[in-house]
Structure 1
Amino acid sequence: MNPDTPLHPRPLRHLTTAQRRVMSTAQLRAHGVSGAEASARCRPDGPWQQFLPGVVLLHPGPATSEERLHGVLLFAGRPLAERAGAVPAQPGPDAPHAAYADAMITGLAALALHRFSCVPPLPSLDRVDVLVPRTRRLRSTGCARLVRTHALPAAQQISGLPVAPVERALADAVALLRDAGEVRRLLTEAVRGGHCEPASVVRELTAARLLTRPHVVDAVDSLLAEGRAIAEDRLHALVREHGLPDPLWNVDLRLPGGPRLGGVDAYWPAHAVAVELDTRAPRQGEEGSGWSRTERSGEFGEWSEYVRKRERLERLGVTVVHITPKKLRDTAEQQATVVRTALMAAADREPAAYLVVLPR
């Protein structure tokens, strides 16, 4: 008897349909199927077929989209027995995807699972991108294309499969695209469809060193303009739907006869309260962010300008409320409360300096 074959193999019938139809050779051994028996069944006239190295399709016909995804993950995933301190375990209904450890679907396949309408359907994709640690000793083969990373993001579970977050999947897809129109369509749907904010997309593209490509830069410029327009619409809706008084929209503030103090997205002159949309990319500099010193310096300079403007206005008695597009989307009621509180507190503050308000 093969020493890897368990004394009490578990029957295949307890697995889900997709699991019963595609399995790793390690899983088959756990169910009492030796390597020799699996190889015999994968002969040209046999009932099974070798799908990828170490992965067997348990029927003779073509793989379905779901089977391809499971197969790619079985090929790229690091079995639990290989992980430090892990105890080998037979796959079962309590941990059906244990063999997918350290692997997740990314790129166009992941965006299809995230229900992007502008990507090709799963059956038409020749290859499935799978994200793995850079130390994984595998090579792309068949329909599995490996994408390596220093640090895996937290996977999202879609239909029981580990899938990369939208921002990471976008970056991995864009890295392989040369058509500016395709890149623009992907980024636009990411924002319009509410999948993510422009700033988080820019952060991921920057970390992937993709902003050196002119067609990606052009698409990002359109993305940022699109994202600001959506954020402005949400700010208008917040004022309207939460019963706030109408402000002056999109104005410049100046001292009489003095220099420009800066532009704000909404301003209530009678209350000396301003709202500014913070549409910068998220602040960077964390370990592993992938940003160069020059990029971090530029981002810090932009943040410093925000701080200087706010300090100038607050010294003149203006309350400045910063709101990010993500907060507008996810916590609109809370942001409305913040603005309302600032307006109500105006009566208890010293009168602000007189400012000239001009259209921006």
Structure 2
Amino acid sequence: MTRRSWARDAEELFGASRRGVITVAQLEDLGVPSRTSYRRCRPGQPWQRLLPGVVLLRTGTPTRRQLLEGALLYGGSEAVVTGLESCRRQGLKREARPGEPIHLLLPAHLKTTSSGYVLVERTTRLPAPVTLDELPLAPVVRAVLDECRRLTERAPIRALLAEAVQQLKAGPAELSAELEQGSDRGSALPREVLREIGKGARSPAEAAAMAVWRRTGLPEPVWNFEICDERGRYIATPDAWCDAVALAWEIDSYEFHFGQPGYAATLERNNRYAAAGVAVVQTVPSRLRTEPRAVAGELVLAYRAAANRPRPPVVLSGRRE
């Protein structure tokens, strides 16, 4: 393409781009002077600047994929997408938040820095990418921990790690190993939450419940184990179970309505507990966050009451996956 013909060949320019995203350097190779590229990104002109040296060959709001293509062009050929974007592309069921950055990993020797919506992290441990839909993605275990290291509160870290285990099948042992191999920066809270998950927490609410239980000073329960009656008939799989006194703790949502299957299943479970003589404490997830001290007090009282009655013939079985 010559400098005289590029303006007439918009289709060819678009064909050389990534979904309409292209670098100024690539445009120069196609005959578009850099000053022309930048001029066409001014208000009222047909293109727009996404990042330094990266333009979108149209106006309007870029799609998430176009932003991602722009980030990769900005980062260069060795860039690897990590964090939530990588997790989402590999199956995490979360929508992108408005303004959520795209997190890139780059080799430590490069000088590229964060800009605009792109968060650049230079690393000596650049992972071999997983390629999906022509995108270089950090493996799930690395991506989720790269995001966790940036978080400063326990609750979102719990939520993300629990989702990674449940939705992306990331193993707690793999996550712990990756955490130990990386930098200590931002690792303290993820390490604590992974210990909770390793003990059996299957959700953010259960991880929060473990933290509340530690306030009680009571013997540590087991988490997510089946219990059966003396004839081996299944009773339930309580979130927490104190075997010495046959006390079950369930983290139950109050958002059921009569007639819904979830509500009916909860009633049936509670009826089985009652028939077997099991003491049960039920807590809604929101109270774990808003009233941890009160919940801990209720658990202590329930434990003492259970200890003062004859223990029913209930048998602890294996963990239900």
TM-score of the pair, normalised by structure 2: 0.56
Residue in 2 that maps onto 1:112? 88
Displacement of 1:14 in angstroms is 3.5
Task: Please report how far the alpha carbon of residue 47 of structure 1 lies from its aligned counterpart in structure 2 after TM superposition.
Answer: 0.6
Q: Which runs of 5+ in 1 are unaligned?
A: 78-100, 229-358
2:217 paired residue number? none
Shift of 1:227: 8.6
Equivalent residue letter for 1:56: V
- How far did 1:158 drift? 2.0
Unpaired runs of 5+ residues, structure 2, are: 203-316
* CA separation of 1:193 and 1:126: change in aligned 2, threshold 3 A: closer
Q: Are the structure 2 counterparts of residues 103 and 175 from structure 1 closer, same or farther at C-alpha, using a change threshold of 3 Å?
A: same
Distance in 1 separating the partners of 2:186 and 2:153:
15
Residue 122 of structure 2 aligns with which residue? 148
User: 2:164 aligned with 1:174, yes or no?
Assistant: no
Residue 134 of structure 1: aligned partner:
108
Whether the 8 Å CA contact 2:144–2:160 is kept in 1: the answer is yes
Work out whether 1:122 is the aligned partner of 2:123. no
2:14 and 2:73 map into 1 onto residues whose CA distance is: 19
2:78 aligned to 102, 115, 120, which one? 102
> How far did residue 109 of structure 1 move?
1.5
CA drift at 1:123: 5.3
Please, which of 185, 189, 192 is the counterpart of residue 166 of structure 2? 192
In structure 1, how many angstroms separate the alpha carbons of the residues matched to 2:82 and 2:178?
Answer: 13
| Kept in 2: contact 1:10–1:32 (CA 8 A) | no
Tell me which residue corresponds to 1:25. Answer: 24
| Distance in 1 of aligned mates of 2:113 and 2:186 | 27
CA contact (8 A) 1:205 1:211 kept: no
Counterparts of 1:104 and 1:28, CA distance in 2: 24
Contact 1:102 1:132 in 2 (8 A): yes
Spell out, residue by residue over 1:181-227, the C-alpha distance to the aligned partner (whole angstroms, 9 max, x if none). Answer: 21122222222235322222111112233487543232111222239
2:15 corresponds to which residue?
Answer: 14
Partner AA of 1:115 in structure 2: G
Partner of 1:49: 48
**One-letter code of the match for 1:105?**
V
Residue aligning to 2:33: 34
Question: Deviation at 1:110?
Answer: 1.3
Q: Quick one: which amino acid aligns to residue 35 of structure 2? A: A
Q: 1:194 to 1:10 in 2, by over 3 A?
A: closer
Paired residues of 1:20 and 1:58 also in contact (CA < 8 A): no
Tell me the percent identity.
Answer: 31
Quick check: 1:76–1:130 contact (8 Å CA) kept in 2?
yes
- 1:35 and 1:173 mapped to 2: Cα distance? 36
Secondary structure at the counterpart of residue 116 of structure 1: coil
How far is 1:164 from its partner? Answer: 0.6
Whether contact under 8 Å (1:111, 1:170) holds in the other structure is: yes
Per-residue deviation, 1:175: 0.9
How much has 1:166 moved relative to structure 2? Answer: 0.5
Contact 2:22 2:73 in 1 (8 A): yes
Q: Is the 8 A contact 2:104 2:119 kept in 1?
A: yes
CA deviations over 1:75-110 (Å, ceiling 9, x no partner): 011xxxxxxxxxxxxxxxxxxxxxxx2101111111
Counterpart contact for 1:116–1:189, Cα < 8 Å: yes
CA distance in 2, matches of 1:194, 1:14: 35
Mapping of residues 1-360 of structure 1, within 5 Å: 11-15=12-16, 19-77=18-76, 101-117=77-93, 119=94, 121-122=95-96, 124-210=98-184, 213-226=187-200
Residue of structure 2 in register with 1:238 after alignment: none
Letter in 1 for 2:116: G
Distance 1:151 1:208, change over 3 A: closer
Whole-angstrom distance in 2 between the partners of 1:187 and 1:154: 22
Over aligned residue pairs, what C-alpha RMSD do you find? 3.0
